[in-house]
A and B are shown apart, each in its own frame.
Chain A
């Protein structure tokens, strides 16, 4: 058997944490079956729990334009003045087993979801960060409860600052208390919001058990957005995304996965498949790049 066969696309892909956790697709070629894997963790799109207000500012850039090296270009920023978004996700142990997910992978996922703001984000995303993050470990099956849909807010007519919105967690807490299948809750809550979650008992989010990957977990995240653009809409001049004909904002799950992948790559130094390093390439070309890297590592051993 040649080395090329040993390092086929499937083995190469499974070596990457983002493929194990989020899944990937590489089309088949003449020599290889390719890879199709559904992620063990599915991220829910975070939605704002109140109407959001979008502000626009513009200014000039000190740098010349790339095309004609002319005068400084005009920059335009669109941002949400203040917003609370709720989202989450679900980890399926059945898919985790198929993808080879380990407890350490899940630990790294929690780490990234809480600390991704440690990476050098752009100005527009400087304050898009979780104020509460829970990992709810449940016995039995992969039956999602969508806890992210159980938050409400009281808000003023105009929402510009944190005191214009009051988060209401009562329905979420009631839902948690009514669920008899919860075996453990781990969480992180920003100290400003601790009193809102004082009715539920949770352990430190970085608690770690060897068999975590064998249990179904559901995630709940509340993001706070202050004067930032959590996810621009390329179809609408990069304004923060909105549900059409409404003032409800949302962030795509791809954006959240990008935060996580960037954290894994830049802070933890892990090798990931969907990387922004280097040129834009097709999924197959990226898989072939990684196969060559693995071959080189094998030669040097």
Chain B
């Protein structure tokens, strides 16, 4: 048994680890840490408690159902961090966001498989009644959940060598203590591919 969540939104932003205050880039799909954070938001937990509780007991997969593009949005900031530019005026900062290709609605699916039925119930109930608004990365990228379904999942062998390769954090070892990275592929149909395929009633996913 697993959970598949269908969502809609307008934009997404999954900050890469090599971003800084002025230039922020996004991964093309949420890394595992962002999706764990989403479970934490639904449960009302902070990041550390979320990792402590869920890091080792859930498998997560992700798929975009919309055709997307990324665009760098330049914003003028009048308050900024750092001391080197004091008295030089406001700064122009660039943020890369994911949008639907024609400015429409972002759509996607999140797959969550838990090692324990009680944990699965806990997550299912949390997504039905989230404590904090759910978002795709940044807090302003709020999503609406359209559907939450329980489903069966079967492990299968799948083809995963067609697409662009990314290296995203899979696990955080703790605040500012470094990440574990994992390579994944974003296939043209929006599926995030790793080496573990599962087939569900709502399509195929890979465990991140």
Contact residues of A with B, CB < 8 Å?
Answer: 23, 25, 27, 38-39, 42-45, 47-48, 90, 92, 94-95, 140-146, 148-149, 233-235, 241, 243-246, 248, 250, 252-254, 273-274, 276, 279-286
Neighbour of B8 across the interface among A45, A95, A149, A234, CB < 8 A: A149
Please classify the interface of chain A as helix (H, G, I), strand (E, B), loop, or mixed, using the class held by over half of its residues: mixed
Q: Quick check: A282 and B129 within 8 Å, CB to CB?
A: no
A144–B41 Cα distance when bound, in Å, is 13
Q: Measured between alpha carbons, how far is A254 from B138 in the docked complex, in Å?
A: 14
The answer to whether A144 and B79 touch (CB under 8 A), given A47-B103, A243-B99, is no
Residues of chain A contacted by B144 (CB below 8 angstroms): 143-146, 149
Contact among B74, B78, B135 for A276, CB-based, below 8 A: B78
* A28 CB, nearest partner CB in chain B, Å: 11
A144 touches B140 (CB 8 A): no
B44 shortest CB reach to chain A, Å? 6
16 contacts between A and B (CB under 8 A): A47-B10, A90-B133, A141-B128, A142-B130, A142-B134, A144-B133, A146-B9, A149-B105, A235-B94, A244-B71, A248-B102, A250-B103, A274-B79, A280-B79, A282-B82, A283-B79
Instruction: State the B residues within 8 Å of A (CB).
Output: 8-11, 44, 69, 71-76, 78-83, 86-90, 92, 94, 99, 101-105, 128-135, 139-140, 142-145
A276 to B78, CA, bound (A): 7
Chain B residues with CB under 8 A of A243:
69, 71, 99, 102-103
Of the residues B69, B80, B139, contact of A244 by C-beta under 8 Å? B69
Known: A143-B145, A246-B103. A45 touches B130 (CB 8 A): no
The 8 Å CB contact of B80, one of A143, A146, A245, A282, is A282
Which among A235, A248, A285 is the interface contact of B74 at CB below 8 angstroms?
A235
Main secondary structure of the interface of B (DSSP, over half): loop
Do B131 and A90 have beta carbons less than 8 Å apart?
A: no
Q: Report if A143-B11 is in contact (Cβ < 8 Å); known contacts: A280-B87, A282-B80.
A: no
Chain B residue contacts of A233, Cβ below 8 A: 74
Known: A44-B142, A282-B82. A234 touches B92 (CB 8 A): yes
**How far, in whole Å, are A280 and B78 apart by their CA atoms in the complex?**
6
Q: In whole angstroms, what is the CA distance A95 to B145 when docked?
A: 20
Return chain A residues, CB-CB under 8 Å to B133: 42, 90, 92, 142-144
Q: Which residue of A lies closest to B82 (CB)?
A: A282
**Chain B contacts for A43, CB-based, 8 A:** 140
The CA-CA distance from A39 to B133 in the complex, in Å, is: 11
Q: When chains A and B are docked, how far (Å) is the Cα of A244 from the Cα of B105?
A: 15
- A279 in contact with B103 (CB, 8 Å): no
**In the complex, how many angstroms separate the beta carbon of A104 from the nearest chain B beta carbon?**
22
A280 touches B90 (CB 8 A): yes
Residues A95 and B143 in contact in the complex (CB < 8 Å), given A149-B105, A248-B102, A274-B78: no
A252–B73 contact, CB under 8 A? yes
Q: Are A140 and B129 in contact (CB under 8 A)?
A: yes
Considering the chains assembled together, what is the distance between the CA atoms of A234 and B89 in angstroms?
15
Q: Nearest-CB distance from A261 to chain B (Å)?
A: 10
A141 x B131 contact (CB < 8 A)? yes
Cross-chain contact of B139 among A42, A148, A149, A234 (Cβ < 8 A):
A42
Chain B hits for A149, CB < 8 A: 8, 10, 105, 144
